[in-house]
Amino acid sequence: MTIKERYRRAMEWFQTAIPEAETELHYKSPFQLLVAVILSAQCTDKRVNMVTPPLFEAYPTAEAMSTASLDDIYSYIKSVSYPNNKAKSLLGAAKMLVEEYNGEVPSDIDSLMRLPGVGRKTANVMLSVVWNKAAMAVDTHVFRVSERIGLTTGSKTPLQTEKELCRYIPEELIPRAHHWLILHGRYVCKARRPDCLNCGLTQVCRYYMQESKKG
């Protein structure tokens, strides 16, 4: 099977199996999504969604959060991973948004990555979810699933995976493909043990084919 054929068949299956794929984070504005994505680093979306309602009630906008104290922000997010660092990032990002972007979240990757706590993955999430741009955010699920299925081969870094995926996935599908791979990794192609019996991609999956030969 050629790499193009593997991509084509995988994308066709995802379009049929998960036609409406979107983030599982809860938010009502670009700023709130930015906060949620920063909080989600090395933390589950479920935990983030438990923390953000009271946080957003207290600080619904960048302007509101920019006036908060670190201790105040920390008190709302203390149950997520790395709360001290994330509190600093949230306060710093809110202040920069107010001082340099009129309180609005910018829509280009370079400006986004200037914000405290925002790396390439977070910036790409914002671009794809809010503005539907062809940006591929590579988290641990996307990185693992892409390599297992065979969409990437020997990828060493998230950036390498990102470039490979964007090379073969049709541009208009990239925003959804990010969520397809995340959801597949979260619920089917899990880190410790992939649930191959309940996977619709076994016909194109390199890992499954290799395991079948062993059996």
State yes or no: 43 annotated in a binding site.
no
Catalytic residue among 4, 28, 46, 121, which? Answer: 121
SS (H, E, C) 142-200: HHHHHHHHCCCCCCCCHHHHHHHHHHHCCHHHHHHHHHHHHHHHHHCCCCCCCCHHHCC
State yes or no: 166 annotated in a binding site.
no
List Cα–Cα distances, 117 to 21, 39, 121, 123, 146, in angstroms. Answer: 25, 9, 11, 10, 25
Q: What are phi and psi of 133, to 5 degrees?
A: -85, 160
Sequence-separated (6 or more) residues with CB below 8 Å from residue 4: 168
Concerning whether 88 is annotated as a catalytic residue, the answer is no
Query: 10 Å Cβ neighbour count for 94?
Result: 26
Query: What are the tokens at 95?
Result: 């202040």
Handedness of CA 118, 124, 129, 130 (dihedral sign): positive
Sequence-separated (6 or more) residues with CB below 8 Å from residue 19: none
Concerning whether 133 is annotated as a catalytic residue, the answer is no
Catalytic residue among 46, 86, 139, 213, which? Answer: 139
Sequence-separated (6 or more) residues with CB below 8 Å from residue 28: 56, 60
Residues within the annotated binding site for [4Fe-4S] cluster? Answer: 189, 196, 199, 205
Annotated binding site: 189, 196, 199, 205
Q: What are the residue numbers of the active site?
A: 121, 139
